A and B are shown apart, each in its own frame.
Chain A
Amino acid sequence: MTLKRTAPLVLLTVAALSMSACAQSDRDSGSDGGTSGGDVKDTFTFGAAGAPDVFDPLYATDGETFRITRQIHSGLLGIKPGTADIQPELAESWTPSEDGLSWTFKLRQGVKFSDGTAFDGKAVCYNMDRMYNQKGAGQTAAEYWTYFFGTFSDDPSGSLYKSCEAPDDTTAVINVTRTTSSFPTILSLDSFSMQSPTALEKGDANNVQSAGEGFTYPEYSKNPVGIGPYKISKYDEANKTVALVANESYYGEQPKTKNLVFKIIPDESTRRQELQAGSIDGYDLPNPVDWKGLKDAGNKVEVRPAFNILYLGLNPERNPKLKDLKVRQAIAYALNRDQMVKSQLPEGAQVASQFMPDTVSGYNTSLQPYAYDPEKAKSLLKEAGAEGMTLKFAFPTEVSRPYMPDPQKIHAAFTKDLEAVGIKVEQVSKPWNGGYLDDVSANGAYDAWLLGWTGDYNAADNFLGTFFSDLKGNDFHTSVMPWGKTLSEDLKKADAIVDEGEREAAYQDINKRIAEEYLPGIPVSHSPPALVTSGKVQGLTASPLTAEMFDTVTAGK
């Protein structure tokens, strides 16, 4: 058989040809491309930690996606750079009616969507109604609407949103069903950005369908039409890059750098190496242990103000000993949080005295964290008759959160502290997505656990309400405590107060009671996450909400 005999020779020939092609490519290696005249690059490349979801922000759910949608969309309200506070964006001002149930937004004039459609009162109402009228799978996919606005038009009973009117081109009136500190602040969230009604209609944007164990989204969601300094140029799924280009019809200033590229590099050390090699200009979430090395190498580590909380949760339903305040206080006195924060969290991290950071209105400055006092812990345990109690204490693996860079180490330090005061610790761990979250929330399977929260916007309700408002379903099982119902009701009442000063005082009071009388869990720390850029990058403002805008950024050659 001649084929059989000649095969190796053919293979060798092919190999030889290909090798010469390789050699060719080596000789050609050199310029990086994407640069032009001037001393700044016309492309800024950022190393993202994960692949984005859909670019229609209504259906988006994670930070990697919002990082991109934020560049191509605007909301009625925006975020003041470097803070968690709201500022005018597409709406220039907003005023509530006397009862706080009807909000009038004065809109910026002469604004156009990137497809040329005019932005006016009708467009605002079209968007609000479009979100409210989601059907079927679209309702489940619109996770942020469910979370912040409640139900949809087919079940108005649980909805915060009521209706929208556009008396003229520059006015939109949004009616809500109850007063809450969250409205209109939540309109600054990326999910509720304004999109072109023409394009939404044409692209059949609401056509979300169930498909097997997932959803399919309409083609529109890959290239939505909004108002932002950039627009999507290309999402190259095979090469894991998202390219944005300046939106020439943007009403504001044109971006300083014309092209913005996000390279998806899940591995943190690879992101660091790409920055070292100069092939990216910055990346998110550098490991705190690398901060110093990165700075020494001439890079800039931009530390975001901490807008998060790490806590040690307690479940009195599973372990009745925890129903005794003395036992919970003993745990608080037993933990050496100062030491943990100093040795394990990045610089700028602080021990927490309450379940929210100090930038949030309602923070009680008079509260001090429980001091580290093992002797006091022991005597409290003795008084409670809980000496030698066992605590099933869990931490998640396969995860690093902004408020908790290395859960295992934090858990180990706390375990030592607890054992030092005579508490027997049953250590448990599970992968973050492999049962940990289910065990904490749905199953209530642990006595104590590590978890935290990063705020969405500047409101006490976004922290305290998240943890304790929902009496039946909250992770802390406050329903078995005599004060659980009071706390839940007081939080709801405080949230509904229209007057800001009054509301702040109400939250300060609640914070005090949580710390001194209830102590449903131990607030541990606030930890600032960072992002890093090369030394040649200018104009990036780190945001506590991780809501950085890239239109002001330049990278020197």
Chain B
Amino acid sequence: MARFIIRRLLQMVGVVFVLSLLLFFWLRSLPGGTVSAILGERATPETRAALTKALGLDQPIWVQYGKFLGRAVRGDFGASTKVLPGADAFDIFLTRFPATVELSFFALLIAVVLAIPLGYLSARRANSPLDSGLVIVSLVGVAVPVFFLAFLLKYQLAVEHNVFPVSGRQDNLNCTRVTNFFVLDGLLTRELDCSVSALKHLVLPSVALATIPFAVIYRITRASVLEVLGEDYVRTAESKGLTARVIRGRHVLRNALLPVVTTIGLQTGGLLAGAVLTEKVFNWGGIGNALADAFQFRDYSVLQVLILAAAGIYVIINLLVDISYAVIDPRVRTR
């Protein structure tokens, strides 16, 4: 097991390294760039040359990459030029990433809490009107684009009816920041009103984001419970005279949930991607939003950090899913 994990971690380092190389060259091969983004209409040949030199962009690209790598291994990814000028690019990641995680977490929570009981219910009453209705709802959940739903929810519940806030993460202005998970920070610092405000802001984006994982988890749960219900050991349990409650809890649900847990893991990666669009609609100060800003203004340092970090996280999530496979199915380890 340890060898399996170490091998995968080494692969991960390789992936991130190759990606950093591609990313670095790709960014610099794009037309335009940081200098014209900063100077705008005001650019003169002199100011352009001075800024290019000051940012080190006049040097050969290999030299630039070498310097970047040299700094990066020491954890120095350079400063932002436009997203948050002067801020350390990695600090921007640390401020923004929790927002995305918070949003994804609550979306997953909503999806899981609704999908598992409903999936179980559907399977128990297969082919009933309730089941058919839920299947249709789940199909719609997959089919409707997340940003469209996000926009509808925002318009109806925030703009027209003022039930929830329109955008942003928090109304309070004096909240203390600890981890940048706003709900958690409010709890840690006992500023409960901060947590409450953050939760209010979370409702619409996380509901919008939850639709796809909800639909997927619901359908897996339903299928899996249906399958288990037909298994011999359930019939055996019934014939042993066990109570319905014990059968459902211990024999059906537990066995049926194994594939569901794996699905939840796989959905997490997709959630981070979906969050990018939802962030745009709700002006959510997360990593997707920062990425869009950084790209618009050609903020190289921030782009490099965000893309590499996102890639690293994606690789780690995949690794965790693989490890969970290995735990569940020993055959994977020997391969």
The interface of chain A, by Cβ under 8 A from chain B, is: 1, 4-5, 7-8, 11-12, 14-16, 18-19, 21-22, 24-26, 28-29, 32-34, 51, 53-54, 61-62, 137, 139-140, 143, 146-147, 210-217, 221, 234, 236-241, 243, 261, 263, 265-267, 270, 273-274, 276-279, 398, 430-439, 441-442, 451-453, 470, 472-473
Cβ-defined contact, A212 with B78, below 8 A: yes
Name the residue on B nearest A143 (C-beta).
B47
Sorted from nearest, which 4 A-B pairs have the closest CB atoms? A212-B78, A435-B31, A214-B79, A25-B199
Q: How far is the CA of A139 from the CA of B39 in the complex (A)?
A: 14
Name the residue on A nearest B51 (C-beta).
A140
> Hey, which chain A residues are within 8 Å of B261, CB to CB?
7-8
A147-B47, A212-B78, A212-B79 known; A270 and B167 CB under 8 Å?
yes
Q: How far is the CA of A211 from the CA of B78 in the complex (A)?
A: 5
Q: How far is the CA of A453 from the CA of B261 in the complex (A)?
A: 58
Most chain B CB within 10 A, of A266, A277, A473, is at: A277
B325 → chain A closest CB, angstroms: 12
B79-90 CB mask vs A (1 if < 8 Å, else 0) is 111011111110
Q: B152 at interface (Cβ–Cβ under 8 A)?
A: no
A211-B76, A239-B285 known; A33 and B172 CB under 8 Å?
yes
> Hey, which chain B residues are within 8 Å of A274, CB to CB?
166-167
Q: B314 at interface (Cβ–Cβ under 8 A)?
A: no
A210-B55, A237-B84 known; A15 and B113 CB under 8 Å?
yes
> Hey, which chain A residues are within 8 Å of B285, CB to CB?
238-240
> Hey, which chain B residues are within 8 Å of A263, CB to CB?
168
Cβ-defined contact, B42 with A433, below 8 A: no
Cβ-defined contact, A240 with B301, below 8 A: no
Q: How far is the CA of A243 from the CA of B297 in the complex (A)?
A: 25
Please pick, from A18, A273, A432, the residue contacting B155 in the complex, using a CB distance under 8 A: A273
Cβ-defined contact, A18 with B38, below 8 A: no
Q: How far is the CA of A217 from the CA of B78 in the complex (A)?
A: 12
Cβ-defined contact, A279 with B113, below 8 A: no
Q: B248 at interface (Cβ–Cβ under 8 A)?
A: no
Q: How far is the CA of A212 from the CA of B303 in the complex (A)?
A: 12
Q: B212 at interface (Cβ–Cβ under 8 A)?
A: no
Name the residue on B nearest A403 (C-beta).
B41
Most chain A CB within 10 A, of B98, B171, B254, B280, is at: B171
> Hey, which chain A residues are within 8 Å of B199, CB to CB?
21-22, 25
A234-B174, A239-B285, A438-B31 known; A221 and B48 CB under 8 Å?
no
Cβ-defined contact, A241 with B173, below 8 A: yes
Q: How far is the CA of A278 from the CA of B159 in the complex (A)?
A: 9
A211-B78, A279-B165, A470-B44 known; A265 and B283 CB under 8 Å?
yes
> Hey, which chain B residues are within 8 Å of A28, CB to CB?
196
Cβ-defined contact, B166 with A279, below 8 A: yes
Cβ-defined contact, A8 with B196, below 8 A: no
Cβ-defined contact, B167 with A433, below 8 A: no
A238-B95, A431-B32 known; A278 and B162 CB under 8 Å?
yes
> Hey, which chain B residues are within 8 Å of A442, CB to CB?
43, 45, 48
Q: B73 at interface (Cβ–Cβ under 8 A)?
A: no
Q: How far is the CA of A32 from the CA of B168 in the complex (A)?
A: 14
Q: How far is the CA of A222 from the CA of B297 in the complex (A)?
A: 21
Q: How far is the CA of A438 from the CA of B39 in the complex (A)?
A: 11
A137-B54, A147-B42, A214-B301 known; A238 and B177 CB under 8 Å?
yes
Cβ-defined contact, A212 with B301, below 8 A: yes
Cβ-defined contact, A61 with B113, below 8 A: no
Cβ-defined contact, B172 with A4, below 8 A: no
B44-60 CB mask vs A (1 if < 8 Å, else 0) is 11111011001111000
Cβ-defined contact, A5 with B254, below 8 A: yes
> Hey, which chain B residues are within 8 Å of A11, CB to CB?
112
> Hey, which chain B residues are within 8 Å of A239, CB to CB?
168-170, 175, 182, 285
> Hey, which chain A residues are within 8 Å of B99, CB to CB?
238
Cβ-defined contact, A140 with B76, below 8 A: no
Name the residue on A nearest B172 (C-beta).
A33
Name the residue on A nearest B91 (C-beta).
A237
A29-B200, A435-B32, A452-B41 known; A270 and B84 CB under 8 Å?
no
Cβ-defined contact, A214 with B78, below 8 A: yes
- Which range contains the number of B residues in contact with the other chain? 35 or more
Q: How far is the CA of A430 from the CA of B168 in the complex (A)?
A: 31
Please pick, from A5, A26, A273, A438, the residue contacting B167 in the complex, using a CB distance under 8 A: A273
Most chain A CB within 10 A, of B79, B258, B328, is at: B79
> Hey, which chain A residues are within 8 Å of B222, CB to CB?
none
Cβ-defined contact, A237 with B32, below 8 A: no
B28 → chain A closest CB, angstroms: 10
Cβ-defined contact, A441 with B168, below 8 A: no
B260-274 CB mask vs A (1 if < 8 Å, else 0) is 110000000000000
> Hey, which chain A residues are within 8 Å of B44, CB to CB?
147, 470, 473
Q: How far is the CA of A221 from the CA of B87 in the complex (A)?
A: 11
Name the residue on B nearest A14 (C-beta).
B109
Cβ-defined contact, B89 with A437, below 8 A: no
Cβ-defined contact, B296 with A398, below 8 A: yes
B36 → chain A closest CB, angstroms: 4
12 contacts between A and B (CB under 8 A): A8-B254, A22-B203, A29-B164, A143-B47, A146-B47, A214-B79, A214-B85, A237-B95, A265-B167, A265-B283, A267-B280, A279-B171
A13 → chain B closest CB, angstroms: 11
> Hey, which chain B residues are within 8 Å of A139, CB to CB?
50
Please pick, from A16, A433, A473, the residue contacting B37 in the complex, using a CB distance under 8 A: A433
> Hey, which chain B residues are within 8 Å of A213, CB to CB?
34, 55-57, 78-79, 81, 299-301
Cβ-defined contact, A140 with B34, below 8 A: no
B326 → chain A closest CB, angstroms: 12
Cβ-defined contact, A266 with B293, below 8 A: yes
> Hey, which chain A residues are within 8 Å of B254, CB to CB?
5, 8
> Hey, which chain A residues are within 8 Å of B81, CB to CB?
213-215
Q: B318 at interface (Cβ–Cβ under 8 A)?
A: no
Q: B158 at interface (Cβ–Cβ under 8 A)?
A: yes
With A51-B83, A213-B57, A215-B79 known, 11 other A-B pairs at CB within 8 A are: A4-B258, A4-B327, A12-B113, A25-B200, A211-B79, A214-B299, A265-B167, A270-B283, A279-B165, A431-B31, A436-B32
Q: Using a CB-CB cutoff of 8 Å, which residues 86-134 of chain B contact chain A? A: 86-89, 95-96, 98-99, 106, 109-110, 112-113, 116
B37 → chain A closest CB, angstroms: 4
> Hey, which chain A residues are within 8 Å of B95, CB to CB?
237-238
A213-B78, A214-B85 known; A434 and B31 CB under 8 Å?
yes
B60 → chain A closest CB, angstroms: 15
> Hey, which chain A residues are within 8 Å of B168, CB to CB?
239-241, 263, 265
Name the residue on B nearest A222 (C-beta).
B86
> Hey, which chain A residues are within 8 Å of B46, CB to CB?
146, 473
> Hey, which chain A residues are within 8 Å of B219, CB to CB?
none
Cβ-defined contact, B112 with A15, below 8 A: yes
B318 → chain A closest CB, angstroms: 19
> Hey, which chain A residues are within 8 Å of B83, CB to CB?
51
A32-B171, A140-B51 known; A276 and B159 CB under 8 Å?
yes
> Hey, which chain B residues are within 8 Å of A25, CB to CB?
195-196, 199-200, 203
Cβ-defined contact, B173 with A236, below 8 A: yes
B88 → chain A closest CB, angstroms: 7
A230 → chain B closest CB, angstroms: 14
A241-B173, A433-B37, A451-B41 known; A29 and B32 CB under 8 Å?
no
> Hey, which chain B residues are within 8 Å of A14, CB to CB?
109
B287 → chain A closest CB, angstroms: 12
Q: B77 at interface (Cβ–Cβ under 8 A)?
A: yes
